[in-house]
Amino acid sequence: MKELNILKTTLNVGLDAPVRLLHVTDSHICLANDSDAARDPELPGHALSRGNAFGGEEQVESYLTQALEYAKKENIPLLHTGDLYDFLSEANFAYMEQTLSSVDSIYAAGNHDFCHFVGRAIEDYPYKWENLRLVQPHVKQNLYFDSRIVGGLNIVTLDDGYYLFSKGQEEMLRAEAAKGYPILLCMHVPLYTPLLAEKILEKNPCAYLVGVPREMYTKYPNDRRLQQNPDRATLEMMDYILSEPMIKGVIAGHVHLNFEEPLSNGVMQICTHAGYAGYAREITIV
Ligand SMILES: [Fe+2]
Ligand SMILES: [Fe+2]
């Protein structure tokens, strides 16, 4: 098995004492057991082909196991920003539960956390809310929005896996800011920046980012434009995030890239490459 690459990044937010986290994202575990096969006979084949596309299930699990061992050895929380598995199955739920309970963990949902079978359904907002009922019982964080204060740092997690924020999430984030602790905002899909969009568009027909401007998403293929054009609540949330002085850092995944860049207000956005590709990032917040 290949060795996990653990990147090291320091984020300055003005804490009295450092807080360390191990950021892992997009593991894309692909498992299906007998009961999954009985429910959907196509699922084992799907698990195998998807797993092979991610570099082989055994290797992917080995990378995640190595990350868990590192978090345990260093006694630091695991921050996983979604797509821990690739599709809904009992086997994937069991794996997720075991993973997240084996260490001190914080989880933010990804788009695949709500997907029954990749490519089979239109994954729109009602689809997500229907499937949230299946996923949520397996995760201790509230997947819509949650927060936890660690060493004076407010770690806020929220769901933006379908390229949308809601007004309710903005209101909850405002309430978190009012607590007066520096906020580390953690979610699956990164916030749009021109540079990150440009990098992703080099190899893709769309940018896979939240809050993309109109002149960009109108050039997307039709299905991607419908999926990724931001609504009013999303754009208002983007404006709020960029204007809220208590938000000191943004951590994301989804784009399967290592990318660190200041947002337009100077706050760093850190994206870590996929767990299946052998990456994790130790973030020291000072
Ligand atoms: Fe992913
Ligand atoms: Fe994703």
Residue identified by tokens 């936890």 is: 148
Residue 178 CA to ligand 2 center (angstroms) comes to 30
| Residue 180 CA, ligand 1 centroid: distance in Å | 33
Return the pLDDT at 94: 98
Query: Residue 58: CB partners within 8 Å, gap ≥ 6?
Result: 1
Quick: pLDDT tens for 229-245: 999 999 999 999 999 99
Strand order in the sheet with 19-24: 5-11, 279-285, 19-24, 78-80, 105-107
Cα-to-centroid distance, 258 and ligand 1 (Å): 13
Whole-number Å distance between alpha carbons of 146 and 237:
16
- Tokens for 126? 């009602």
Please give the distance, rounded to the nearest whole angstrom, from the Cα atom of residue 28 to the centre of ligand 1. 7
Residue 187, pLDDT score:
98
Q: What is the mean pLDDT of residues 158-184?
A: 98
CA of residue 20 to ligand 2 center, whole Å: 24
Cα gap 97→100, rounded to integer Å = 5
- DSSP state string for the chain: -PPPEEEEEEE----SS-EEEEEE----B----HHHHHH-TTHHHHHHHHHHHTT-HHHHHHHHHHHHHHHHHHT--EEE-S-SBSS--HHHHHHHHHHHHHS-EEE---GGGG-SSTTTS---HHHHHHHHHHHGGG-SS-SSEEEEEETTEEEEEE--TTS---HHHHHHHHHHHTT-S-EEEE-SSPBP-HHHHHHHHTTSSS---BT--HHHHTTS-HHHHHHH---HHHHHHHHHHHH-TTEEEEEE-SS-S-EEEE-TTS-EEEE---TTTTEEEEEEE-
Q: To which residue do tokens 């950021």 refer? A: 23
The pLDDT value recorded for residue 196 is 98
Q: What spacing in Å lies between the alpha carbon of 75 and ligand 1's midpoint?
A: 26
Q: Are 28 and 55 in contact (CB under 8 A)?
A: no
pLDDT band at 138 (very low <50, low <70, confident <90, very high): very high
Q: What is the CATH number of domain 5-285?
A: 3.30.750.180
Q: Residue 187 C-alpha to ligand 1 middle, in angstroms?
A: 12
Residue 178 CA to ligand 1 center (angstroms) comes to 32
Output the CA 118–ligand 1 centroid distance in Å: 12
Residue 186 · residue 251 · CB < 8 Å? yes
**Segment 195-206 mean pLDDT:** 98
Q: To which residue do tokens 């580390």 refer?
A: 184
CA 159–ligand 1 middle distance (angstroms): 14
Q: What is the 3-state secondary structure (H, E, C) of 57-104?
A: HHHHHHHHHHHHHHHHHHCCCEEECCCCECCCCHHHHHHHHHHHHHCC
Tokens matching residue 243: 């204007």
Q: How confident is the model at residue 225 (pLDDT cuts 50, 70, 90)?
A: very high
* pLDDT in the model for residue 172: 98
Ligand 1 mean position to 61 CA, how many Å?
Answer: 15
Give the model's confidence band at 124: pLDDT under 50 very low, under 70 low, under 90 confident, else very high. very high
pTM value is 0.98
CA–centroid distance, 161 to ligand 2, in Å, is 7
Place of tokens 């933006």: 160
